[in-house]
Amino acid sequence: MTEQEEEKLQRSLTNRHIQMIAIGGAIGTGLFMGALLQIVGGDKLIIPFC
């Protein structure tokens, strides 16, 4: 990268952006765990998860 390109870079994530990323991660994890519970069965997945 040249010096001019480095000057153009800036941090533009706001607090709201970071909150939405965190909420999306939590929802995605919940969907993933819910799908695994349906496929594998509740007893087999929750015991190793604890």
Tokens of 25: 């991660």
Identify residue 11 by its one-letter amino acid code. R
In a domain, 36, yes or no: yes
Number of domains composing the chain = 1
- Please give the pLDDT value at position 41: 72
pTM: 0.56
Please calculate the CA angle 28-32-35 and round it to the nearest 5 degrees. Answer: 140
In a domain, 29, yes or no: yes
SS3 11: coil
Give residue for tokens 């939590």. 26
Low pLDDT (below 70) residues in the chain: 1-6, 9, 42-50
Helix ranges (DSSP H) in 1-50: 3-8, 15-40, 42-49
Segments forming the whole domain that contains residue 45: 16-49
- Please give the pLDDT value at position 50: 52
In a domain, 9, yes or no: no
